[in-house]
Amino acid sequence: MQTALLVDDEKRMLNLIELFLVPHGIQCIKETNGRNAIDILKKETIHFVLLDVMMPEMDGWEVCKAIREFSSVPIIMLTARNDKTDLVKGLNNGADDYITKPFDDRELVARVNAVLRRSSNENKKDIIRYENFTLHLETYCLNYFDQKVQLTLKEFFIIKALISRPNKSFTREELLSIAWEYETETDIRTVDSHIRNLREKLKKTGFPADVYLKTAWGIGYKWN
């Protein structure tokens, strides 16, 4: 059974989401406080997080950023605001997906199932090697020499596609299809946010990201 951590200051919303997920075999842990949610995540086995943006004391963006300091668990942000700025901010803080309230229960379940399919890689031990770094298909982690780069699911699938076919120029639409395997209205420019995050993470390890992760002008991106 998969376990979800639901974080929202509205108990009614937590109960509604639980009502949607339980019939699909998903156990739910509900929390109304962001700091408490972080503590739960450090102690419990959680397969994905549904995280509300607008919460008092510690908002969803802060919680998401704090989670990314120690975990690559898939995070789906929930918000009542249909604002592209919110979307970009969530992605920059490490979110894997984003749903605007009120949402269709079928869309929620579809997105959750997609995240779980992506993350259920327990039986794969494959490693992709490229010069001085390795990409671990089991842990969604990249190692450059002795330094570890923890990736989000979206970042992982994007970089996996790029390095698996070096010198191929991928369009944003192709990368969006690779990272989001369900029908969605996600703006293709969200790919740019993930690429930017990837570059920043790689640069912090000393990896020459600008040399290898290149922009294919007028097309998208490629690994050279």
Q: What is the pLDDT of residues 159-214, one digit of tens each?
A: 888 888 888 999 998 888 887 765 456 677 888 988 998 899 888 888 888 888 99
DSSP 171: E
Distance CA 74, CA 201 (A): 18
DSSP 137: T
CATH class assigned to 2-119: alpha beta
> Residue range 123-143: average pLDDT?
70
- Parse the chain into domains and list their residue ranges: 2-119, 127-223
Same topology between domain 2-119 and domain 127-223: no
Distance CA 197, CA 152 (A): 10
Strand 26-31 and strand 2-7: pairing?
parallel
Query: How does residue 113 score in pLDDT terms, banded at 50, 70 and 90?
Result: confident
> Residue range 109-121: average pLDDT?
77
Is the pLDDT assigned to residue 111 strictly greater than 90?
A: no
Distance CA 139, CA 152 (A): 10
> Residue range 64-86: average pLDDT?
80
> Residue range 48-61: average pLDDT?
90
Per-residue pLDDT, 131: 67
| Cα pseudo-dihedral 188, 107, 51, 179, rounded to 10 | -40
Model's pTM, two decimal places? 0.59
CATH of region 127-223 = 1.10.10.10
Mean pLDDT rounded to a whole number for the chain? 83
**Signed CA dihedral, 115, 57, 190, 196: sign only:** negative
Per-residue pLDDT, 185: 62
* Residue that has been written with the tokens 């549904």 in this structure: 50
**Signed CA dihedral, 134, 168, 196, 124: sign only:** negative
Q: Give me the percent of the chain exceeding a pLDDT of 90.
A: 27
Distance CA 53, CA 59 (A): 6
